[in-house]
Amino acid sequence: MTLDPPTAHPATELDDVVHQRNRLGILTVVAEADEAEFGFLQGTLGLTPGNLNRHLAVLVEAGLITVRKKDTRGGRPKSWVKISDAGRKALAREMSALEQLLRRHQTGGA
């Protein structure tokens, strides 16, 4: 008699870099828009500039986004945030784990 290999709980598939509430927010917004401006992200997610900068730094460090300054007519340059291919893949993995978690929750386990 052989036993099926134990299936990992979907929560163990979650990665803190992507799963953290604010970073998940940032990634979903930039995945939708391809590129998003710093102030837009701040407003959409209700973050202070310092808090947003801190989370952007973690995502840049992990290679999931890039940030670049763009000149604006007559104003200071603005920061634009773009998702990378690795970022799209990491977000897809997170969404897949969340979907499993939701399905499991809705069916009451198993």
Residues that bind its own copies (CB under 8 A): 8-9, 11-12, 14-16, 19, 21-22, 24-25, 28-29, 31-33, 44-46, 91, 95, 98-99, 101-102, 104-106, 108-110
* Cβ at position 49, least distance to its own copies in Å: 17
- Report whether 17 contacts 58 (CB < 8 A): yes
The distance from CA 56 to its chain's CA centroid, rounded to whole angstroms, is 10
Task: Compute the distance between CA of residue 52 and CA of residue 48 in angstroms, rounded to an integer.
Answer: 6
* Cβ at position 77, least distance to its own copies in Å: 25
Return the ∠ at Cα 24 (arms to 88 and 63), rounded to 5°: 45
* Cβ at position 76, least distance to its own copies in Å: 25
